[in-house]
Amino acid sequence: MNVQLPQPASVWITLLPDGMTLQLEGHLLASKTDQIVRVSGPGLTARLSLEDFSELFGSLSSLPVKESAQIDEKKDEEYYAWRREKQ
């Protein structure tokens, strides 16, 4: 049985392939593409450099999540585009 133990987010983010998502403490999700980390959660959406992510969220406990729970970047962009139009 391959069980993954929680690790600090700064450890997982460097090990994960692009597009894989981390579940952080406090209902936050983070995914990496190239050198940019997208963080989303209740009331928060941010794009950060790896360095900024590690500084702000690196000490939080985290685990990789299954594909069904990953951030869908296309849906995310469509939603925020729609919100911008309505404001």
Residue 2 lies in a domain: no
The whole-number mean pLDDT for each consecutive block of 10 residues of the chain, a chain of 87 residues, reads 70 80 87 89 90 90 70 72 73
Residue 33 near residue 18, CB atoms below 8 Å: yes
pLDDT value for 1: 44
The answer to whether residue 1 sits within a structural domain is no
Q: Identify the pLDDT of residue 87.
A: 66
Whether 37 is covered by a domain: the verdict is yes
| Beta strands in the chain, from DSSP E residues, in sequence order | 7-8, 21-24, 28-33, 36-41, 44-49, 61-64
- Close Cβ partners of 36 (under 8 Å, ≥ 6 residues apart): 47, 48, 49, 50
Residue 61 lies in a domain: yes
State how many domains the chain has. Answer: 1
Range of the domain at 63: 7-86
- Predicted pLDDT of residue 19: 74
